[in-house]
Structure formats: structure tokens, C-alpha cells
Structure 1
Amino acid sequence: MQRPLQIKDALHLDNKKSYGFVNCYVHEDSELFIDYNLLKQNIVIHNFDRKTACKKIIDFFKTNLDIIRTDPDKVSENMLIHEINDTHFGSTTRGNNSRGKGPSKDELKDFFRKITENNLDKTVINEPMDLLIFTKGLGPDSFSDLITKIIAKELYEFSIKVFKQSNKLDEVKQKGEQEIEFWDNKNHKMSTIIVPKLSIKNSNIILVPYRITTKRIKYNANDFLNSVINSVKRTNELAKKGRKKAMTKKEIVHYETKKYGTSERKTIVFNEVLKERHFLKSYHDKFNSSKFLMNNVHPLLNDNDIYK
């Protein structure tokens, strides 16, 4: 079976040389994601304004938390995800269009209503990736799309610089224009710019630095349930009289699922955080640990490190 056409091959770039971008397929998506836990690391990424990208993500999250109580409809509108196909990232099967569209407006409003009613805004939920734990309909694919939307301007500028330095800008820049939506952290709102369209073999292209890209995002409700909540529960079980050994993770998950009926795990962990708010801080601390990140965050090794 012939390998799908990749960016370097299409532009006749040296496959042995690293240009800093993910060497994606031109006409198909790769199961890859932008990982905020990688993006926030204090590293220099050539041609990419990582600091501004981080500031925009943090400001997007903070601004929307600030207006949740006064304008939940606006927050839901900001959070709605319109997939940017130009990066060719996503959870797809080869040859098909991306499936994930993210949470609905009603799901977002329900989530924001719950965190404000329970006073979880700002003081407890204060990491952008907490949305992955609690928001129904929001998975790694749609969260990566949201991050892409927020920093789309920085990704486009990165693409221009890379194509220019590799003497391919004239080849990929088209006569037509495209509108890019991005987060304006100075005015604290979504904004748009009109820019020249970038295209390879009639396929729109926006490059992504491989150093902020992962094949797997571990920060999720299931990991939170197992690594923090269930760990505490197992320890507590040891202290109970008449029990020789702690409950297993499987037993605890079964117990909690049964306890909450058919509720999803995102509902389970939300209810647990309501009872024990320090659980979420413990999860934050784990992901802010350099040792933990080393073992649990999975960046690409180089620009050719994608699923074949």
C-alpha cells in the first residue's frame, strides 16, 4: 500500500532535515493533538511565539471564567469549536473526514451552570485543561481544536516563517484569501484576520510545531479518577475494620458507577470534587511536576514522528 503524500515530499524538502513542523499528510488527517501541557513548558521553539500562545490560552480561560455568571451565553459561544482542518490533526480513520465536533452549546451551558452554582469557578477550576475532565462532549480531539482556534494566528505566523526560510513560500501562498479566527488577549475576545491562503496540492495547510504535538493526551476524567480519587479511596479502605485488603481500582470504579447509575465518569469526578475539592489541586500538582510530565506527556520525537 502506497504511503499517503506528506508535506515534505509534496514540497521536495529534505526528509532527513528537521524544519520544526509536524510532517503531516497533505490530504488526510493524522491522529495527533496539540497538548497544552507541552505548550506551557518553558522551552524555545524556533519560529513559534510560544509565550504569546500561552498567554492567549490563559487569558481565554480566565476571561470566560470571569463572565460565566454575567453572560453564560457568550462563554458558550466562545467555547463552541469549529474545527480547523488546515492542520490535518484529529481522531480520524484514514481517508475519512474528522468526526469530533466537541460539546454542544447546551452541554457547555450546563457545565458552566454547575460550576457557578457550586462556586467552583476560579478558586477550584483554574487550569485550562480542567475542561477536559468535566465537560461532556469535550475530548482530546475537540480540546485540541479549541486550542488551535485560540492560537491560530501564532500557528499561521509560524507557517509563514517556516515556508519562507525553506524557500517555499511562493509555492504555497495562493492568490485567494482566508479568514482566521483567533483569541485577542489584549481585547479579551475572539477576533478575525484576513490572510493569504496557504495550500499544497489544493489542500489548505497550517503547520504545527512538533514540540507542542502529542499522540496521546493523558489529562482526562478516567486518569483523574484512577490516579487521584481512587488512590485516596483505596488508602481509606485500608483503615476500615474487618477488611484485610483495600478495594481494587476495578471494584471502586464499579462501585462509583453503580452509585451514580448510568452517569458518565465526568459526572462522577465532578461530584467527587464537590465533596473533596483538594482532589483537583492534587491532580494539578501532579501535572506541574517535571518528573510526572516526563513520564506522562508524550511529545513527538521529531517532525517525522507521526502514525504511518
Structure 2
Amino acid sequence: MRFSEYFKLTQYNQRSFDFVDVLLNTDVLLFVDPLRMQIEKKDIKNGLLFQECNNVLDDFFSTILDLYTNNKKIEAKKKFDNSHEINYTHIGYSTGKSSGNGNTPEILGRVFDNIIDQRLIEDNVINTLFDLNIFIDDFGKDHFSDLVVSIILKQLSDFTIQQAQEYKLILEEEREIGQYWDINEHNWKVLRSKVLLDQSGKPIILLPKKITVKDYFYKPEKYISDKVLVWRQNYHKDHETDLSKLFKNGIPSKKSIRNLEVKEEGLTLKEYLIKMTKKNPNLIKEFHTGIINPLLGTKSNVLTDKELTDYINMYRK
């Protein structure tokens, strides 16, 4: 059952809503994309919300990194205790009833230990929160989206309340629904808020459709294809390597480079990306810069209202 069906908003459709009209009895494989928050921050209706979300995410990332770089690892790891999957959004990898495994303190601890131990900040490999999805093994888009949602829970709750008021839905009494990142205290705080409840009596958190996607544009496969392998092709040609001599024009195929430098070296994709980015930090900087224009144009990863409706309908029981 869709949100709109349960709340008897059937005179509307996905095109009418600013939020994703989710199914309340299962999770749909969608993710919150913080890069879209940057792009949509000039949106007439919700631009200020997206800007606030950006600021909160930046503060979380910088706070954790500051603690690590100042040898306050224990204090940093305590801040992971409150990050967990928010089951009220009905998106992600869970099947059937929303339950989710989300981020645990142990997972996030390993992520940031990895960043520090490999000197990924000092070597200009990781510069933004988005880079976690590019470089960190066992931390894909599901964990990344879960982390983002938990950090900006208050902003999403405020958005949900605003949508409820717009459609004259009854909000239940204020209650504790989780914890969110407070930008002023640089720490987690308990969120008490009025809520919409689903058929099971559980809170609902609505997601703006402009920041909810099927896949990230900012991902390892795109980075290796668009930047890293192009650079390596030029390297092999310019240095007339043995690999380049196997090709008439001296430019090895991307597949041949992956076989030689990734597969035969026994590296994971993300290990290889770290290795190459350490050799040429400009690669990730150029990727940062070049990723925005496609997202503004025809290659945007935003789903149309029809695509979003059809996709969600695939999950109907």
C-alpha cells in the first residue's frame, strides 16, 4: 500500500508530491543522494532544506575527522553509537517488512580507521563525505545512504511535518523517533517530533523525491572509467609500455588495463582506485568538478515521476 493510498490522497499522484510516494509495507531499492542536495539547493521550494542538509553533513564529517586527526579516536567512535538505519523511510536493501541492518558503530569505526591508517586525508584521496562510497571497501551505497539519513533525520522530520500540513494530514503527539546530528553542538541529540503513523503504528519519514535515486552517479565504476583508466591509457601510450605495444595505436583498452593492474595484482576495485589516486590526486579533484554538469543535464540520476511510479510499482506485493 502506497503512502497516498493509506492516507486517502488518491486524487493526487507522484507528480503532485514533493516526496516519494513510498510503499508502507516494504522497502524499495532507493537511496538518498547527498550530491543531489548540493545541486538542488537553489530549488525554489526546498532549496533551503537541501542547503541545511548539506551543512549538517559537512559538520558531521569534519567533526569526526578532527577528532581522529587530534588523536581522539575513542571520542570519535562514541559518536558512531547513535548512527543507525532509520526504518521509517521504507527505502534500502531490506526485503519484506522494513527492518534493515544499517550502520553499526563497528562498521563506521572500521571505515574511519581505514581512512586514517591509509592516510587518505593527508594524501588528498578523500576530501568529501561522498568519497567514502568511492574508496572504502564494504561501505557501499546502502551504508552510505543509511548514514546520510541518520545524520539529517531532523531535517527529514521537518520536511515530513511540512508535507503533512500541506495535505491536511493528522499528526500524532510528539514522541522520540531517533537521534540526529546537531550542527551547533557537533554531536547527536534525541529527536522528539510530531509524527505520521503507518498502519502498524510506526512513524513515517518522507523523503524529498529530488534527492532520492536508484543509483549514485558518484560511484567507483564511473570514476575508474571516466578518469582513472583514461589517465592510465595515456600513461601506457606515452611511456611505450609492453602493454601499449600490443595495440596498433599504442593505446591499451580499458579492459586490458583492468586485467593487468587490478585483476593480476590481486586488488579490489577500491584498493586500485586508492593506489592510483595517491599517484595522481588531481584525478579525484577533476572527478569532483566534472560530475556536476552531467547531473544538471540530460544524464541526471533523478527519476521522472513516471519512472519513480513504475519502479515502486514493481515492489507491490
**TM-score normalised by length of structure 1:** 0.86
| 1:56-67 map, 5 Å | 56-67=56-67
Q: Name 1:141's counterpart in structure 2.
A: 142
Unaligned runs of 5+ in 1: none
Residues 260 and 268, structure 1, Cα contact 8 Å, conserved in 2: no
Q: Bigger shift: 84-93 or 296-305?
A: 296-305
Q: Name 1:15's counterpart in structure 2.
A: 12
Q: In 2, distance between residues paired with 1:160 and 1:98? A: 24
* Structure 1 position 221, deviation (Å): 1.9
Q: Bigger shift: 28-37 or 48-57?
A: 48-57
Residues 176 and 190, structure 2, Cα contact 8 Å, conserved in 1: no
Q: In 2, distance between residues paired with 1:150 and 1:105? A: 13
Residues 273 and 280, structure 1, Cα contact 8 Å, conserved in 2: yes
One-letter identity of the residue aligned with 1:140? K
SS in 1 for 2:69: coil
SS in 2 for 1:182: strand
Match of 1:250 among 236, 248, 255: 255
SS in 2 for 1:84: coil
Q: Name 2:163's counterpart in structure 1.
A: 162
One-letter identity of the residue aligned with 1:9? E
**Residues 276, 76 of structure 1: CA spacing in aligned structure 2 closer, same or farther, 3 A cutoff?**
farther
Give CA-to-partner distance per residue, 1:88-122, whole Å, 9 cap, x none: 110244557435547724522431323447723xx
Pairs aligned (count): 297
**Residues 35, 271 of structure 1: CA spacing in aligned structure 2 closer, same or farther, 3 A cutoff?**
same
**Residues 78, 283 of structure 1: CA spacing in aligned structure 2 closer, same or farther, 3 A cutoff?**
farther
- State, as a whole percentage, how many aligned pairs show the same letter: 24
Q: Name 1:125's counterpart in structure 2.
A: 126
One-letter identity of the residue aligned with 1:64? I
One-letter identity of the residue aligned with 1:38? R
Q: Name 2:288's counterpart in structure 1.
A: 284
2:229 paired with 1:239: no
Q: In 1, distance between residues paired with 2:160 and 2:98? A: 25
Give CA-to-partner distance per residue, 1:54-75, whole Å, 9 cap, x none: 1111111222222222223443
Q: In 2, distance between residues paired with 1:209 and 1:105? A: 26
**TM-score normalised by length of structure 2:** 0.84
Q: Name 2:208's counterpart in structure 1.
A: 209
One-letter identity of the residue aligned with 1:218? F
Residues 29 and 98, structure 1, Cα contact 8 Å, conserved in 2: no
Across the aligned residues of Structure 1 and Structure 2, the Cα RMSD in angstroms comes to: 2.5
Q: In 2, distance between residues paired with 1:96 and 1:50? A: 26
Residues 56 and 152, structure 2, Cα contact 8 Å, conserved in 1: yes
Give CA-to-partner distance per residue, 1:164-194, whole Å, 9 cap, x none: 1211124xx2x57223211111121222222
Higher relative contact order (CA 8 A, sep 6+): 1
**Residues 133, 193 of structure 1: CA spacing in aligned structure 2 closer, same or farther, 3 A cutoff?**
same
